[in-house]
Structure 1
Amino acid sequence: MSEALSTRRLVTRLLLVVVGMFGFGFALVPIYDVMCQAFGINGKTAGAYEAGLQTSDESRQVRVQFLATNAADMVWEFRAEADELVVHPGASTQMLFVAYNPTDKPMTAQAIPSVAPSKAAAFFHKTECFCFTQQVLQPGERIEMPVRFIVDRALPADVKHLTLAYTLFDITASKPPVAQAGQ
């Protein structure tokens, strides 16, 4: 076999690998979504909700648990005002989360939500959430951040417990905060 033929086969195989890797990159998003659904992780909440169209279902109760955690490099104190609430599907409910910046510098944070079990995430509607915006806290500042939500009346009957979890990330390096006047 000639050296030119051997080189051509090698280049062809390498090009096929590159094309395959490129295609796999596009396939990662649907694969990730399927894996998250199969294992019940990274549940995303449902979109807009027409609150006026439904009334609450007083005959049914759903327990909503709240978790607040910090990413590895986040130093803020972060917690929910309560560990859980019992809600009626269709009723508008509010929970307060509290954040405190114990450092001597302004910091910016972003909260990433997750709902479990994943099959219930489509029935969990946030009408107001601190996770929609980045939070800037000055040194020693404490803030109460509301989450207003509605558990849809169409939530499957076998789901009696939901978990709303937030992970707080320090994004100060990518979005430096502006210090308040006098500091």
Structure 2
Amino acid sequence: MSEARESNRRMLGKLLVVAVAMFGFGYALIPVYRHICEVLGINVLTQKDGTVAPPQNTQVDLSRSITVELDSNVQGTLRFRPTQRSVTVHPGEMTTVVYEVVNSQARPVTAQAIPSYAPQSATPHFKKVECFCFQQQTLQANEAKQMPVMFYLDPALPKEVKTITLSYTFIEIAGLDKTASAGTAKAVQ
């Protein structure tokens, strides 16, 4: 019995040594991994002076510049315009532009923006990430809004395209006033 107990103690000691060694090895891998990555130039997030390097988008084509002209049209009572007339971008570069809409009426107005692009060959290469045109906009009486459009141009944009016009037509949607539609729903019932 004492021999079995002694054998179990030796086994427990060996297992504890293995467990501590495994923990130590795992803990030591972190600085070893960082050093290997730094030497190979892989996944380097800090520069030599200790500051964090901003991530760079390697898909931006810095050899080309495209002018995006911003245009606006309105069908209805709203005032609608871009806050700047044009912006110069590189294909692949994320860009944000802002449009401003003003409802000078004494009633809420619901409208939808419809985009168009010129030349038409640029349409499939104009990639919007965020846009007010994705949904209807309701402006309260005398309300003004600044609405962003976040986009990038696909680097596969044909080389001959040097200027793109992004135009929005803001169309007032008749019959969607909430109080009017609620009254209509009660009348139908």
Larger helix share, 1 or 2? 2
Distance (Å, rounded) in 1 between the aligned partners of 2:179 and 2:152: 34
- Greater relative contact order structure (CA < 8 Å, 6+ sep): 1
Could you tell me which residue of structure 1 aligns to residue 173 of structure 2? 171
Distance (Å, rounded) in 2 between the aligned partners of 1:56 and 1:85: 16
Shift of residue 53 of structure 1?
8.2
3-state SS of the aligned residue for 2:70?
strand
Could you tell me which residue of structure 2 aligns to residue 159 of structure 1? 161
CA RMSD of aligned residues (A): 1.8
Distance (Å, rounded) in 1 between the aligned partners of 2:178 and 2:112: 12
Moved over 4 A (4+): none
> Structure 2-normalised TM-score?
0.63
3-state SS of the aligned residue for 1:122?
helix
Shift of residue 58 of structure 1?
1.2
Shift of residue 177 of structure 1?
4.0
Distance (Å, rounded) in 1 between the aligned partners of 2:91 and 2:110: 34
3-state SS of the aligned residue for 1:65?
strand
Could you tell me which residue of structure 1 aligns to residue 87 of structure 2? 85
CA deviations over 1:48-89 (Å, ceiling 9, x no partner)? xxxx98621111100000101112xx1111000101000010
Query: Which of 58, 74, 78 is the matching residue for 1:70?
Result: 74
Larger radius of gyration: 2
Matches within 5 A, 1:1-183: 55-71=59-75, 74-173=76-175, 175-177=176-178
Shift of residue 147 of structure 1?
0.3
Consecutive unaligned residues in structure 2, runs of 5 or more: 1-55, 181-189
Shift of residue 172 of structure 1?
3.6
Percent identity between matched residues is: 41
- Structure 1 residues 59 and 131 mapped into 2: Cα distance closer, same or farther (>3 Å)? same
Distance (Å, rounded) in 2 between the aligned partners of 1:78 and 1:114: 15
Distance (Å, rounded) in 2 between the aligned partners of 1:58 and 1:178: 52
